[in-house]
Structure 1
C-alpha cells in the first residue's frame, strides 16, 4: 500500500522544521550528543505519512538563530502549526506526529542515568506544550 501525500511543500517544510527543530532545541539546551543522535534516529524511523515526510531528503528545514531563544521562536510555533495542519488535513496522523516528536525528545534528553540537566527537562516540557497547544 502506498501513501499519497497531498501536503504542500510549505506544509512538509513546517513538519520537518518542527520535528527536527525539537531535537535541535534539545541539543541547544544541553542534551548529550549521543541522545541527540538517538532523537534523530527516532525521526528517521517514523512511519506513515509523518515518516515519509520526515525521511525525505530536503533542504527546507529552517532553523535560524544564534541563541536558544531565537531557535525556540521558530520551532515552538512550528510544532503547534504542524499539529494544527495535520489535524485539519490528516487527523489520523496527529497522534503519529506527536508521538514521534515526544519519543525523539525523550531520546534526545539522554539515558536516565543519574540527575538530568534541568534546562533539557524544561525544554522537553516546552516542546510538549507546543505540541498540545494546537
Structure 2
C-alpha cells in the first residue's frame, strides 16, 4: 500500500480543502474580480508544480466545497483545516509534511503577489496560514 492509498477519501479532501482554503483566505483578504482571476491561476500553478503525494492530492479528484463568506468566515474554516491537514500528514505521511507546507505557502504567496503585490491584509492572512501550518517563516 502506498502512502497515497493509506489516506482515506475524507483525509485527502481535508488536505485539499485546507490548501484551497488557505489560498481563498489570502485572496479574500483583498477582494476584486480581476485580482481573483490572476490569483487563482497563480495558486493553480503552485499546486500543479508540487510533487509526490501532495501533487496527487491537490491536482486530482473533485474540488473542495469552500464556504462563500466574509474573510472572517473563511478564516474560521481554513485555519482549522490546515491544522488538521498537518495532523493527518504527521500521522500518515510525515515525509510529505514539509512538501505540503511548502506547496501551500508557495500557493498563498503567489496568490498574494499576483495582483499588484502583497498588501497589509494579505500579509496578515499569509501569517495566519504559516502559523496554522506550524511555520513561522
Q: Quote how far apart the aligned CAs of 1:112 are.
A: 9.4
The alignment of Structure 1 onto Structure 2 pairs a total of residues equal to: 130
Q: Quote how far apart the aligned CAs of 1:45 are.
A: 2.3
Q: Counterpart of 1:121?
A: 123
Q: What pairs up with 1:105-120 in 2 under 5 angstroms?
A: 105-110=108-113, 116-120=118-122
Higher helix share: 2
Q: Counterpart of 2:133?
A: 131
Does the Cα contact within 8 Å between 1:43 and 1:100 map onto a contact in 2? yes
Out of 92, 95, 99, the position equivalent to 1:96 is 99
Q: Counterpart of 1:24?
A: 24
- Name the stretch that deviates more: 40-49 or 88-97: 40-49
Out of 64, 69, 72, the position equivalent to 1:66 is 69
Q: Tell me: CA distance 1:71–1:111, structure 2 relative to 1, closer, same or farther (3 Å).
A: closer
Spell out, residue by residue over 1:17-36, the C-alpha distance to the aligned partner (whole angstroms, 9 max, x if none). 00011111111011733233
Q: Is the partner of 1:105 in helix, strand or coil?
A: helix
Q: Quote how far apart the aligned CAs of 1:4 are.
A: 4.5
Does the Cα contact within 8 Å between 2:15 and 2:82 map onto a contact in 1? yes
Spell out, residue by residue over 1:25-66, the C-alpha distance to the aligned partner (whole angstroms, 9 max, x if none). 11101173323321222113211011101111214x131142
Q: What pairs up with 1:41-60 in 2 under 5 angstroms?
A: 41-59=45-63
Q: Quote how far apart the aligned CAs of 1:99 are.
A: 0.4
Unaligned runs of 5+ in 2: none
Spell out, residue by residue over 1:68-122, the C-alpha distance to the aligned partner (whole angstroms, 9 max, x if none). 1111111100001101110111000000000000111111111596x63110000
Cα distance in 2 between the residues matched to 1:125 and 1:30: 15
Q: Quote how far apart the aligned CAs of 1:5 are.
A: 2.3
Unaligned runs of 5+ in 1: none
Q: Counterpart of 1:38?
A: 42
